[in-house]
Structure formats: C-alpha cells, structure tokens
Amino acid sequence: MIKIKNLHANVEGTEILKGINLEVNPGEIHAIMGPNGSGKSTLANVLAGHEAYEVTAGEIIFDDTNIIEMDPDERAREGLFLAFQYPIEIPGVSNAVFLKTAINEIRKHNGVEEISAKDFLALIREKAEILGMDSSLISRSVNQGFSGGEKKRNEILQLLTLNPKLAVLDETDSGLDIDALKIVSHGVNEFKNENNAVILVTHYQRLLDYIIPDFVHVLYKGKIVKSGDKNLALELEERGYDWIIKEQPQTV
C-alpha cells in the first residue's frame, strides 16, 4: 500500500528524518514508537504533506504513485488520512459543512455523485454511535470548545466517515484516560479491515493493548533502528528506550 524509501526531511533547515524505510501492506497495522524528538510526528506530517516539512530525498510510493509532490488535499483524496496529535479548532465552520465538503470532494475524485443530506445524516449517526458521540455535535464548530478527548474522538469520527485506505494516527492516545482510549481504539478497530492499513504513531505501549499491531518499529534520531512484532512494544514498556539507544553506533 505504501512504501517509504530513504526518506529525508527538514524542518526549518534542520534535518529531522534521516533515511526512513518502511513498507506497509493492506491489512497491516504498524506502530511507530520512539522517544520524544525522534521524528515520529514529523514522519506523520510529512506523509500528510504538511508544507512546513521539506522532503530533501527519498520517495513515498502510495498505491504505486510517488506522492512527494502532491498537495495534502490530493493525498487525502487518494485515500491517505492523518489523525492529528492536536486537532485544530475552526470557529465558524460546522462539523457538518466540514465533513460534507470533505466527503464530497473525495467522492467527486472517485467519480461518485455527491452524498444526499439524508444519507449524510445517517452516516454521521451510525459512525458517531460507534464512538458514543451525540450526533448533534455536527452543528457545532469543528473542535471548538471540545475537550482533548472529544477532539481525539472527532478525529476518529472523521476517519470512519471518510474511510481512507491508509490511516496515520499521530499520538491519538496522548491525553486520553483509559475509558476514552478504549472508545477511540474501538473506533480504529471498526475501521480496520483487510483492504486498508494503519500506521500508529505513539510514545506509549498502552494503546497497543487495544489496537494490536502486526509490526512495531522504533524510530530514533530520524531513522528506524529496530523493528519487531508486538512483543517489542512490551519490551520497550518494561525497559524503556535506553537499551536500544545504547545499541546504536555513537556519532559525533
């Protein structure tokens, strides 16, 4: 589904990603873990096409197309979704307008006719219910006045309604209490099937108790330094990151 090859990226002239290689196939869940500052969020943002991040080398092949030159909206229409670590508040734009516009742009791209008002409402109700959300939220402004947990849930609501091929979840677990974490995880598991894929970016192993990854990768100083299965996450939980860092060749 997606192949990341030798990806290098800068933020304000500083190299953050220093050669990432990663392949994710349909039906797989990959967890990207690592200490703070290792480049996890940068990777998520680069995948989504944030213009503050400059790709200096490498390729991102998504469904056989290199998407490096694509704008964020084009990537989204191709089926890539980023759940934000810090979802943005947009006063004055209702969730309904926001989601309906997004759904229709993606539909238009796929040659499907626009969603009817009735179908749209039914879709929102169905997906909101999975997340225990009140569908009246659609008349409220996007994320405005939402608690941290509500914002994260709203990200997953968008994931479920837009139904992309690849979901990149950037620290969706951060700031969530255990109940909210269960709800959000339930949403992601509802989304997941054999034709789509998930990349989970997380600092903590806890999320992986509820969303079981097929692969776990450790990102350190802009590179994937260790890969394994879900047991690697458990080991990290127990031992921290230091032992992996110590395994790395010292650079001056």
Partner 1 sequence: MSKEKNIKNWYLDNFNKFEEKVKADSFSSFRKEATSKFENSEFPTRKEEEWKYTNVSPILDHEFTPAPLFIDESKDLQSIEEYKIENLDVHLLVFKNGVFDKVLSNIEEVEDGIIIESLYNLSKSNPEFISKHLSKNNKTINAFNLLNNAFTYDGFVVYVPKNKVVEKPIHILNIASDSINKPLVQPRNLVVAEENSQVKIITEYIGNKNAEYFTNILTEISVDENANVTFYKLQNESTTAYHIDKTDIYQKGSSVFNHFSLSFGSKIARNDINVKLDGEQIESHLYGLYLGNEEQHIDHHTFIEHAKPNCMSNELYKGILDDKARGVFSGKILVDQIAQKTNAFQSNKSVLLSNDASVDAKPQLEIYADDVKCSHGATVGKLDEEAYFYIQSRGVSAEAARSMLIRAFIDDVVSEIKIDELREKVNHTIFEHLQRVEF
The residues of the shown chain that bind partner 1, judged by CB under 8 A, are 48-51, 71-73, 75-77, 81-82, 84, 87-93, 97-99, 101-102, 105-106, 109, 141, 158, 162
Q: Which is nearer to partner 1, 75 or 203 (CB)?
A: 75
User: Rounded to the nearest whole angstrom, what is the least distance from the CB of residue 157 to partner 1 in the complex?
Assistant: 12
- Rounded CA gap, 228 and 244, in Å? 13
- Rounded CA gap, 185 and 210, in Å? 6
| Cβ–Cβ under 8 Å, residues 82 and 49 | no
The C-alpha angle with vertex 240 and arms to 237 and 244, in degrees rounded to 5, equals 120
Name the burial class of residue 19, with classes exposed (0-12), middle (13-18) and buried (19+) by CB atoms within 10 angstroms of its CB. middle
Q: Which is nearer to partner 1, 82 or 169 (CB)?
A: 82
User: Rounded to the nearest whole angstrom, what is the least distance from the CB of residue 14 to partner 1 in the complex?
Assistant: 19
User: Rounded to the nearest whole angstrom, what is the least distance from the CB of residue 96 to partner 1 in the complex?
Assistant: 12
Supply 80's token pair. 């890539």
Q: Which is nearer to partner 1, 87 or 222 (CB)?
A: 87
- Rounded CA gap, 166 and 199, in Å? 8
- Rounded CA gap, 248 and 244, in Å? 7
Q: Which is nearer to partner 1, 105 or 235 (CB)?
A: 105
Q: Which is nearer to partner 1, 20 or 82 (CB)?
A: 82
Q: Which residues have C-beta within 8 Å of that of residue 48, sequence separation ≥ 6?
A: 72, 75, 76, 80, 82, 168
User: Rounded to the nearest whole angstrom, what is the least distance from the CB of residue 109 to partner 1 in the complex?
Assistant: 7
- Give the position of tokens 């169905």: 126
User: Rounded to the nearest whole angstrom, what is the least distance from the CB of residue 51 to partner 1 in the complex?
Assistant: 7
| H or E element, residue 5 | strand 2-11
Q: Which is nearer to partner 1, 109 or 192 (CB)?
A: 109
User: Rounded to the nearest whole angstrom, what is the least distance from the CB of residue 8 to partner 1 in the complex?
Assistant: 21
The C-alpha angle with vertex 14 and arms to 13 and 16, in degrees rounded to 5, equals 130
Of 53, 63, 56, the C-alpha closest to 24 is: 63
User: Rounded to the nearest whole angstrom, what is the least distance from the CB of residue 76 to partner 1 in the complex?
Assistant: 4
Q: Which is nearer to partner 1, 97 or 212 (CB)?
A: 97
